[in-house]
Structure 1
Amino acid sequence: MLKKLTKAAGEVLEFPADIAGKGPKITVLGRHEIIVEYYREVIEFSEQKIELDTTDGKLSIRGSGFVLTAVLPTEIHIKGIFHHLSLEEREE
């Protein structure tokens, strides 16, 4: 019920998608840090590859030396050297 109310309020007030709870917020800080908010779960983690499930689809991050510096219920902080970032859309 709260999720539906938040979504409806976000649409009426024209909030950005991440605030209205519609999708992930991905913050890239140079080539060495990424913060992903509103992810669902960690699908895969290694020093070269991270895959996260999000409401919009699968987020894939490739690079080297990955370290999770914070794992919270609604956000994850990743440090390392990033080479590639992609979001594979969820099939409806």
Structure 2
Amino acid sequence: MAKRWGNQLKSWFANHTDLPSDVVLDLPRITMIGQLHIYIENHRGVLAFSNTELRLSLETGQLLIHGQHFVLKTILPEEILLEGTIKKVEFIESG
């Protein structure tokens, strides 16, 4: 109950201020350049990585990226730059 109320307050705050929603709501910021690069900020860690899949932990679940020839070009505590052929980006909500 308290968590839901807190999320509603954050949502209201994001809608009524000039602050970016990704900062206030603790959401990932994802930037894609075609199918070749994807830059993800504000993740909670790498759960799995192979040359065809990247799975990241998010505040509200997971982010799953499928493709081919994946290479992690940059990996920082809350930022990742993935290079390869990106076929699918999927959000998985925590249950």
| Fold similarity call, TM over 0.5 | yes
Structure 2 equivalent of residue 45 of structure 1: 49
Structure 1 equivalent of residue 63 of structure 2: 59
Structure 1 residue 47: deviation in Å?
0.1
Is the CA contact 1:70–1:76 (under 8 Å) kept in the aligned structure 2?
Answer: yes
Structure 1 residue 21: deviation in Å?
4.9
Structure 1 residue 20: deviation in Å?
1.9
How many aligned residue pairs are there?
Answer: 85
Moved more, 10-19 or 33-42: 10-19
Distance 1:90 1:22 in 2: 15
Structure 2 equivalent of residue 4 of structure 1: none
Higher helix share: 2
Which sections of structure 2, spanning at least 5 residues, go unmatched? 1-9
Distance 1:14 1:22 in 2: 15
Stretches of 4+ aligned residues off by more than 3 angstroms: none
Which sections of structure 1, spanning at least 5 residues, go unmatched? 1-6
Alignment identity in percent? 33
Cα RMSD (Å) of the superposition?
2.0
Find 1:84's aligned residue among 84, 88, 95. 88
Distance 2:25 2:45 in 1: 16
Is the CA contact 2:45–2:78 (under 8 Å) kept in the aligned structure 1?
Answer: no
Question: Residue 80 of structure 2 aligns to which amino acid in structure 1?
Answer: I
Distance 2:79 2:91 in 1: 17
Report the TM-score when normalising by structure 1. Answer: 0.81
C-alpha distance after superposition, 1:10-39 (max 9, x if no partner): 545252321225211111111000000000
Report the TM-score when normalising by structure 2. Answer: 0.79
Question: Residue 26 of structure 2 aligns to which amino acid in structure 1?
Answer: K
Q: Secondary structure at the match of 1:19?
A: helix
Is the CA contact 2:53–2:65 (under 8 Å) kept in the aligned structure 1?
Answer: yes
